[in-house]
Structure 1
């Protein structure tokens, strides 16, 4: 049984803990929050063994071997580094880190502590529907690009409109649309098409100084992938990958709850798997599989592919920020 500690008490951590319980491979050893009341309420709800308000106390819990980080983006690097240096595996919410400098330091720490592993919680690329899209893409006679959309209005934007500055919409915490919902379509593009040769980003800035929405163009030489995302409005537009007479259709580049293939204008062939009881269950099962049998050849290959995606997505996100003239305080740190 893997002993899990969590950082963060929001809905995403609750979903992860419920997925871990469904997977049957984890026990909740500890809950960390700077606020004791929030940590205690979360622990009571999920039957955690311990509650702590100091991160080092969490890492020191007896037998702890996995920590899940759902803290603000700018805190991921230091928290992950501390865990890895204590041979503790890290599951970190996307985006893993703010820039390639942080990513390089994490990779160096992983090399020094091979017992620890790093998993980025990009849930959609572990789902059966992602694998269905990848198989359909492999069957296309040619690829002529894609249009990927993921846009959902954030309730925290109401705070911005009222004059506030919630963490997810501040430069200090490496926030903004690209660093949140934009990660999903960028991950999808990298996992399906690789790293683009050139990128461009056209952000729509909001009063806190970050991007509330934006359009990115990923240029792959023979074709482009256009990415449309945002947290200040909603979109029901589907996402599509273009072949010749074939089109792969997805309901959303972030959710992937429905996927299908349309050939020569014919009726859509549904490629979707059964709806997931918990959208984080496939990734949790994948991570547990690797951790339980780290020397198995398939697990080694899967882990290194996922870790490579993490590095590549980090590179592309940073390139897009540079193209859009978006800089974070984290970029100024050694």
Structure 2
């Protein structure tokens, strides 16, 4: 049983813990929060046995094998580096980092502390329907591009409209649509089509100077992929991948609840499977399998493939922001 520590006591942390417990491979043991009371309020009902409000003591004294980090984006790098340097299995909610300099520092730390491992919690990559789409693309004779959409109105945008600046809409906390929802469709594009040759991002900035929504164009040698993302409006547009006469249609490029393959007559076949009630079960199981059986060459290959995919996604995310002139407070990479 893998003992799990957590940083970040929010809804996504609860969802991951529930998924981890469902696999019967994990047990929550340690909770860090800014106050002991908040740590208890979150962890008591989930079976945690120790609670911290000091991050140094959490890493030094905590009785856990792996840590799941779901703090604001701007804190991911420092906390992940700290975890690696304490030789912990480190699982970080996407995005792990905000620029290539941070990524290189984490990779360097992994070499210095080989017992540590690093995973980016991009849950949809591990779901069966993600692989169904990949398989269908591989069966196309020709790929002619895609339009991938993920836009959901955030309740925290109401606070922005009232003059406040929530973390997810703040440059100080590496917020914005691309960093939050956009990472899903960037993962789609990189996993399904590889790295593009050219990119452009056209953000719609809001009062707090982050991108509330935006459109990205990824140029490949033979086709383009368009990414439509947003946190200040709802979209009900389906996502599509174009073959020659066949088209893959997804209800949503991140949720992947329904996958249809349309033929040249406009008739479709449902090729997707029914998703798990908790969409994080697949990744929790995948991570446990690799961690528990890392001596297996197949699991080592999976781990390094995920790491390479994460590296490419984070590089592309930075390239898109750089193209749009979007930089976060105190960011190192500006050239």
- TM-score, length-normalised on structure 1? 0.98
The equivalent residue for 1:303 is: 303
The equivalent residue for 2:104 is: 104
Once the two structures are TM-superposed, the CA of residue 13 in structure 1 deviates from its matched residue by 0.2
2:163 aligned with 1:163, yes or no? Answer: yes
User: C-alpha separation between the residues in 2 aligned to 1:251 and 1:330?
Assistant: 38
Q: Are the counterparts in 2 of residues 2 and 66 from structure 1 also a CA contact under 8 Å?
A: yes
Q: Are the counterparts in 2 of residues 30 and 61 from structure 1 also a CA contact under 8 Å?
A: no
Once the two structures are TM-superposed, the CA of residue 221 in structure 1 deviates from its matched residue by 1.6
The equivalent residue for 2:214 is: 214
Farther-moved stretch of structure 1 (12-21 vs 25-34): 25-34
User: C-alpha separation between the residues in 1 aligned to 2:90 and 2:80?
Assistant: 6
User: C-alpha separation between the residues in 2 aligned to 1:93 and 1:265?
Assistant: 42
The equivalent residue for 2:135 is: 135
Task: Tell me the number of residue pairs that the alignment of Structure 1 and Structure 2 aligns.
Answer: 334
Structure 2: which 5+ residue stretches go unaligned?
Answer: none
Structure 1: which 5+ residue stretches go unaligned?
Answer: none
The equivalent residue for 1:14 is: 14
Q: Are the counterparts in 1 of residues 99 and 333 from structure 2 also a CA contact under 8 Å?
A: no
Q: Are the counterparts in 2 of residues 74 and 330 from structure 1 also a CA contact under 8 Å?
A: no
The equivalent residue for 2:58 is: 58
2:115 aligned with 1:86, yes or no? Answer: no
Once the two structures are TM-superposed, the CA of residue 265 in structure 1 deviates from its matched residue by 3.2
Once the two structures are TM-superposed, the CA of residue 275 in structure 1 deviates from its matched residue by 2.4
- 4+ residue runs over 3 A deviation: none
User: C-alpha separation between the residues in 2 aligned to 1:332 and 1:275?
Assistant: 40
Which secondary structure state, in structure 2, belongs to the residue aligned with residue 202 of structure 1? Answer: strand
User: C-alpha separation between the residues in 1 aligned to 2:274 and 2:215?
Assistant: 31
User: C-alpha separation between the residues in 2 aligned to 1:330 and 1:188?
Assistant: 29
Which secondary structure state, in structure 1, belongs to the residue aligned with residue 289 of structure 2? Answer: helix
Q: Are the counterparts in 1 of residues 30 and 62 from structure 2 also a CA contact under 8 Å?
A: no
Per-residue CA deviation, residues 74-130 of structure 1 (Å, 9 max, x unaligned), is 100000001101110111001110100000000011111111111101011100000
User: C-alpha separation between the residues in 2 aligned to 1:209 and 1:279?
Assistant: 32
The equivalent residue for 1:263 is: 263
The equivalent residue for 1:249 is: 249
Summarize the Cα distance change of 1:87–1:232 in structure 2 as closer, same or farther, 3 Å threshold. same
User: C-alpha separation between the residues in 1 aligned to 2:243 and 2:62?
Assistant: 53
The equivalent residue for 1:325 is: 325
